[in-house]
Amino acid sequence: MSAERLGLVVCLGMVGIYASVCGVSWRIWLFGPSTLTLNQMGALVSSALDQGEWWRLIASLFLHADLLHLLVNGGAVWVLFRLDGALFGSVRTLWLFLLCGMCGALLSWAAGTPSTVGASGGLFGLMGAAISYGWKYRAQLPDQLGGLLRRRLAFWGGLNLGMGVLFPMIDNHSHFGGFISGLIFGLLVDDRLMTPEIRARFSTYIMVVVSGSLCGYALLRMGGAGP
């Protein structure tokens, strides 16, 4: 599956989960479900993680607080999955999204955030991974592409992190956690263009199994915890 289609699948998954939570009420669609409902469905609740509900690290990435939150993150998924997919391949892009999202959620939990939802940690991770790619292959990449990855993405990443500092309602811990882990994993993960094909295929198979298992388990737990 191409990264573009995979990004669309992730977007549709987010919309489907949001629809299942909101039902037919236009007010809930517009302003979002209650905090209690989100917590029941799989929000990152620090007290729940303390009790061993680690599936929330994945589930919380696909939940959103309101329609605007969903639209902003859905648009970012569409753009960043296409960009990172061209660099790392579709499966590794999904893996980066999930892993960086989990790292962001862990930092948010460690900071004592009571409850949070959203895919922003994974999206900041994809941004960080693309920046690292541009730096890692700065000698091989054309100047225009390298500049896009190293400077423009770094500018937008810094701008969004700065906005998170200014607005206290934004969970900036998950943003920072996702971004820093993306910078690190972007240097370590096999990429699409420079990695030998045999090793790339082997790592892809492993990522398919692990990411599929994580998402499947999180969805099962979300279904069992529904309102």
| 173, 175, 181, 211: the active-site residue | 175
Q: Give CA separation, 86 vs 28, 90, 210, in Å.
A: 37, 8, 22
Under DSSP, the state recorded for 192 is T
If one counts every other C-beta atom within 10 angstroms of the C-beta of residue 226, the result is 12
Contact between residue 82 and residue 7 where contact means Cβ atoms under 8 Å apart: yes
Q: Is 64 a catalytic residue?
A: no
- CA quadruple 68, 74, 80, 84: dihedral, nearest 10: 150
Q: Is 174 a catalytic residue?
A: no
Under DSSP, the state recorded for 61 is G
Identify which of 69, 68, 63, 84 has the alpha carbon closest to the alpha carbon of residue 13.
Answer: 63
Q: Give CA separation, 87 vs 46, 50, 94, 136, in Å.
A: 34, 37, 12, 12
| 108, 115, 120, 211: the active-site residue | 120
User: Whole-angstrom Cα distance, residue 130 to residue 126?
Assistant: 6
Q: Which residues does the annotation mark as catalytic?
A: 120, 175
